Structure 1
């Protein structure tokens, strides 16, 4: 197995395995998204007020601390860089990118993004994320 740069645990019951408040919990099912969806639904009451759950791909169900998202990342970065929000462009492809896409001045979804990401976007690229979507965004909105 390839060395991971972050610590991880493999557990049959993630709720029992938590020893302290994690920065991120990722549940992975390579071929059974419905299993992850059932887990997420079953634990909705548990997560209220504690964390956010979202799919970052069809195989990854992630949990992160409440009040953190890619949107809060953009807001913090603009403060640190003393940059106006109207100078921000965000590009995403998954449901977890929706808050970021909505927060940026220009929110972009790539061609092969989820329907939720596309619905949140101001612009959907002609190209997908494997074929120059970022170059398209740079040429259209930045240069």
Structure 2
């Protein structure tokens, strides 16, 4: 079964959330929620039986995508290689996403961000 194609926006959201400390399973859940919100419940038929199509990101898919991004875009990684370079990731985010990052998540999922270990500096005003 073919996987669901990744949009550039989805890819950036996954990288940013991972950089902020969110695990791949939770990223998959948030991306799935957004896909469902955008597409709604769509139906199809399998062997003549009406079924709801399932659009779901998996933890495995997110891990694989992040691994490919690290390999294809080494400039997004820190010198240690296992961490993201914040400046490079934020530059990618600015050039890829239109508008507010948080519009790429569902309203119900946004509070989850406040639980992330590396998110506080995002909301801290710099002088």
TM-score of the alignment, normalized to the shorter chain, above 0.5: no
Larger Rg computed on CA atoms: 1
More strand by share: 1
Q: Which has the higher contact order (CA 8 A, sep 6+)?
A: 2
More helix by share: 2
